A and B are shown apart, each in its own frame.
Chain A
């Protein structure tokens, strides 16, 4: 009896959801076509995509009619006149940038979209709090709040059964710690736990924030080469600074037939190159995966507008396909978010572990 009620309820629920989806799509198309007729502007999909995945001096939330709704963020630049701190809204917004204190945002060229000095056109030292930095700060705050509260709970509860967030994250932490960090690194694992666990959760949380399309999320942080570069550089430093004698011996005097290393240091060259290629691969892998995921979702969304520029019916029709594909992509992205964080951490642990070999083993 109750099961049949449940069934009918879920069926009507699905029906209502479907109708809602159609109405929303339809409204969206009408709004867009009427808007585009007014502005007579053609949608530049490439520009749209790059402005979404790139960095910006303000956090653009939405545009209603011609009204841009965005959060202005502080700009911090050190130029010819020394340190200047001002609000990004002083520089105008996309389309018409204005000059302020001798700085403006370049419209084109290699510095397009970045703050430049009006007089020289050169870049000052720019440590502005951009969209990505805000996102970074939010994720760091989240990390600290989550894990310090959990740590506090562990201290308070002692040996009690874990509850709430602690219970969700404990299996993850335990499996990472016991199944990856410990076996990959070996007996010195305690020196690197802090880095590997932080890296995992940092990437994971930023990936997840990246696929949330509205305000606190949406920034493409882990799909930014600067972020992945810093992470890979830290892995590189930890690998090589704590490398053992055995590790360096394997690089400069590998255990291979003498012909491969004596007259021409082929193996040494390859091994030495390997020191750098491993972290570079880490950096590019994470960047490319997250970047591609974002681009895919944006392209699929963009297709709706490309089609609706041709014809309202075509746009409406394609919006179904597109929404389905975006839902699929987003689900896939959820998986990728975890996998990429996991892969980055596992490979970092392996690289660090490889540098911890002891001479008597090999």
Chain B
């Protein structure tokens, strides 16, 4: 039966056409297609891996950032604390200094007041002495108008000296 006997003309054309098609596709078709699909697969795989790595790195950076932020915060707190302490100390110092200064001024003032007072007292004393000498002179002049009274006086004084000697 002709169904089961291959026709030579068709065999010839089939062989020719199929080999040409297979050659052309084998040269310019399949390698490009399959190669590109494989390359793309590799590329995607690599990209995913890289993305994972980048994510991990990012997480690391984030943690680092958080750590740094926390550190900065602590430092700031410490600085604030220190500044407060410094402020307090300064105020304290200023206070003490002011007290010392005030005390000194008060002392000086007291000293000068004492000095003035002493001077005044001294002056008063000398004046009082002068005045009393004057008064005494006048009294004595009044009393020594007669000779007898002068001799009495002398005697009295001599007695006083003797008493003082003995």
Q: Report A146-175 residues with CB < 8 Å from chain B CB.
A: 147-148, 150-152, 154-155, 158-159, 170, 173-174
C-beta contact mask, A181-207 vs B, less than 8 Å → 1, else 0?
000000000000111011100100000
A143 touches which one: B5, B9, B21, B33 (CB < 8 A)? B21
Do residues B32 and A151 form an inter-chain contact, with CB atoms below 8 A?
Answer: yes
Do residues B24 and A144 form an inter-chain contact, with CB atoms below 8 A?
Answer: yes
Q: A14-22, A126-134, A245-253: which one contacts chain B?
A: A126-134
A195 touches which one: B7, B8, B13, B26 (CB < 8 A)? B26
Taking the nearest CB of chain B, how far is it from the CB of A2, in angstroms? 40
Do residues B8 and A125 form an inter-chain contact, with CB atoms below 8 A?
Answer: yes
Do residues B5 and A173 form an inter-chain contact, with CB atoms below 8 A?
Answer: no
Residues of A within 8 A of B30 (CB): 147, 151, 193-194, 197-198
Q: Flag whether A229 is at the interface (Cβ < 8 A).
A: yes
| Given A226-B14, A227-B10, A230-B11, residue A150 in contact with residue B21 (CB < 8 A) | no
Do residues A230 and B14 form an inter-chain contact, with CB atoms below 8 A?
Answer: yes
Do residues B34 and A198 form an inter-chain contact, with CB atoms below 8 A?
Answer: no
Chain B residues with a Cβ closer than 8 Å to the other chain, count:
36
Do residues A148 and B11 form an inter-chain contact, with CB atoms below 8 A?
Answer: no
Residues of B within 8 A of A225 (CB): 3-6
Residues of B within 8 A of A198 (CB): 18, 21-22, 25-26, 30
Residue of A nearest to B32 (CB): A151
C-beta contact mask, A130-144 vs B, less than 8 Å → 1, else 0?
101100110010011
Residues of A within 8 A of B33 (CB): 147, 150-151, 154, 173
How many A-B pairs fall under 8 Å by CB?
120
Residues of B within 8 A of A110 (CB): 2
A144 touches which one: B9, B14, B25, B32 (CB < 8 A)? B25
Q: Flag whether A55 is at the interface (Cβ < 8 A).
A: yes
- Cα A101 to Cα B4 in complex, Å, equals 30
C-beta contact mask, A102-137 vs B, less than 8 Å → 1, else 0?
000000001011100000000001111110110011
Taking the nearest CB of chain B, how far is it from the CB of A324, in angstroms? 29
Residue of A nearest to B19 (CB): A234
- Cα A151 to Cα B40 in complex, Å, equals 14
Q: Flag whether B20 is at the interface (Cβ < 8 A).
A: yes
Residue of B nearest to A177 (CB): B34
Residues of B within 8 A of A209 (CB): none
Residues of A within 8 A of B24 (CB): 144, 148
Q: Flag whether A224 is at the interface (Cβ < 8 A).
A: yes
Do residues A130 and B25 form an inter-chain contact, with CB atoms below 8 A?
Answer: no
Question: Measuring CB to CB, which residues of chain B are less than 8 angstroms from any residue of chain A?
Answer: 2-15, 17-18, 20-30, 32-34, 36-37, 39-40, 43-44
List 13 other contacts, CB 8 Å, given A54-B2, A148-B28, A225-B4. A112-B2, A113-B2, A140-B20, A148-B25, A151-B30, A154-B36, A154-B37, A177-B37, A197-B25, A198-B22, A227-B10, A227-B14, A291-B3
15 example contacts (A-B, Cβ-Cβ < 8 A) are as follows A54-B2, A127-B13, A136-B14, A137-B13, A140-B21, A144-B25, A144-B29, A151-B30, A154-B37, A170-B37, A173-B37, A194-B22, A194-B23, A198-B26, A226-B6
